[in-house]
Structure 1
Amino acid sequence: MQGVFILSDSPLPSIPGYDVAGVVLKVGSQVRAFKEGDEVYGNINEKGLDLPKTYGTLAEENLLALRPTNLGFVEAASIPLAIGTAYQGLEKTGLSSGKSIIVLGGAGGVGTIVIQLAKHVFRASRVAATSSSAKLGLLKSLGADLGIDYTKDNFEDLPEKFDVIYDTVGMILNLCCLSAISKY
Structure 2
Amino acid sequence: MKAWKYDEYGGVDVLKLSTDVPVPSINDDQVLVKVVAAALNPIDFKRRLGFLKATDSPFPIIPGHDVAGIVVKVGSKVKCLKEGDEVYGDIAEKAAEKPIQFGTLAEYVAAEEKLLALKPKNLDFVQAAGLPLAIATAYEGLERAGFSEGKSILVLNGAGGVGSFVIQLAKHVFAASKIAATSSTGKLELLKSLGADVAIDYTKENFEDQPDKYDVVYDCVGQPEKAVKAVKDTGIAVSITGPIPPPGFFFIVTSTGSTLSKLNPYLESGKVKVLVDPKGPYSFDKVNEAFTYLETHRATGKIVIYPIP
Residue 154 of structure 1 corresponds to 206
Residue 108 of structure 2 corresponds to 56
Q: CA RMSD in A?
A: 2.8
Partner of residue 62 from structure 2, selected from 15, 20, 28: 15
The question of 1:96 aligning with 2:141 is answered no
Residue 80 of structure 1 corresponds to 132
Residue 285 of structure 2 corresponds to none
Instruction: Give identity over the alignment, percent.
Output: 60
The offset of 1:155, in angstroms, is 1.7
Distance 1:75 1:132, change over 3 A: same
Q: Retained in 2: the 8 A contact 1:48–1:59? A: no
Residue 263 of structure 2 corresponds to none
Q: Retained in 2: the 8 A contact 1:127–1:146? A: yes
The offset of 1:52, in angstroms, is 6.1
Partner of residue 87 from structure 2, selected from 34, 40, 53: 40
TM-score, length-normalised on structure 1? 0.81
Q: Which segment drifts farther, 69-78 or 32-41?
A: 32-41
Residue 71 of structure 2 corresponds to 24
Show structure 1 runs of 5+ residues with no match: none
The offset of 1:13, in angstroms, is 5.7
Q: Deviations along 1:142-172, whole A, 9 cap, x unmatched?
A: 11111111111122442311121100101xx
Count of aligned positions: 178
Residue 228 of structure 2 corresponds to 178
The structure that is strand-richer by fraction is: 2
Q: Deviations along 1:24-43, whole A, 9 cap, x unmatched?
A: 22234554534433322112
Tell me which of the two structures has the higher relative contact order, counting C-alpha pairs closer than 8 angstroms and 6 or more residues apart: 2
Q: Aligned partners of 2:75, 2:128: CA distance in 1, in Å?
A: 24
Q: Aligned partners of 2:80, 2:99: CA distance in 1, in Å?
A: 18
TM-score, length-normalised on structure 2? 0.51
The offset of 1:136, in angstroms, is 1.3
The question of 1:111 aligning with 2:158 is answered no
The amino acid that maps onto 2:69 is G
The offset of 1:14, in angstroms, is 3.8
Displaced runs of 4+ in structure 1, greater than 6 A? none
